[in-house]
Structure 1
Amino acid sequence: MGPLDPKVIDLITAVICFSVVFFTFARFLLPRLTKVLEARQDAIEGKFERSEAVYAQARQIHAEYQAELSAARHEAARIRQTAAEEGSLLIQEVRATGQRQRDELVASATAQLEADRIVAEAALREDVFKLATDLAERILGEPIADERRAREITDAFFAELDAEAPTKA
């Protein structure tokens, strides 16, 4: 008994099983498989035709896009040029405004410095007067009774210094 000399019962069982499987395939699966293959073939052919139409439409849209893109580039260049011109005008205006504000600030600061100098000079003259009076009282050993006279002397001294200041400068 080997594969070349099978038993009859095994052979009949194998033929029946093969027939059942073949009949099932031929009766149910093969028609469905054929339908699926035909549908796939139709779909492929239809898709190919549709893809050709879509490709032609895509080429047309691409040409329109290129034309619009070219127009947009020209418009963008014009807008950039206009913006550059407006920007330079704005810069000039801002510089002029800044220059005016700077000049006003410098004038204001100069006036404030002059006022502060006058106040500081008055305060220093008063301090010098007090120090001179204190020094004179120490030298004399007694308080100075005539403050009006002492103030006149110090004012005359400061007037003399003010008169000499322009000649030294």
Structure 2
Amino acid sequence: MLKVQEIREIIKLIDQSSITEFTYETNGTSVTMKKSGNESAKASASITAEEMNQQFISIDESPQVQESPVQPQASTGSAVDDKADNNPDYDYEIVSPMVGTFYASSTPESEPYVSKGSSVAPNTVVCIVEAMKLFNEIEAEVSGEIVEIIAENGELVEYGQPLFRVKKK
């Protein structure tokens, strides 16, 4: 998936070129940008970057991508019942407490904090989320075993987005 900054750069390049339509597809996601042909140069020059995002970009998710409501972290097992049909291998999701960039390790050269199969305690640091040049250590908050790592290193994550799936002990 393209990052927001990459999409902004593509918008600028397309706006400055004679290209009227651009499509990029990867991993079941399609990004299509189209310029209107009937606008004058003056009008298009006064469009802000945010208006361009709204006007030129449409993102089509494939039917394979499913979004599920975020379960509160303080749930008492009801998340297990709701997800038992989909994936019985986990019963807790560690979610991002903020919008930022996900990092699996403290430095690019370091080993990841956790990997699939790692045992975690409530105070175990599982990743870092960088927001506005502040690096925030994210703790597991439960005891268990990491059964899935959902986020990818360097990926932009949203508030409440699942990062890890854990099987509680």
More strand, by proportion: 2
More helix, by proportion: 1
Common fold: TM-score over 0.5: no
Range of TM-score over shorter length: under 0.3
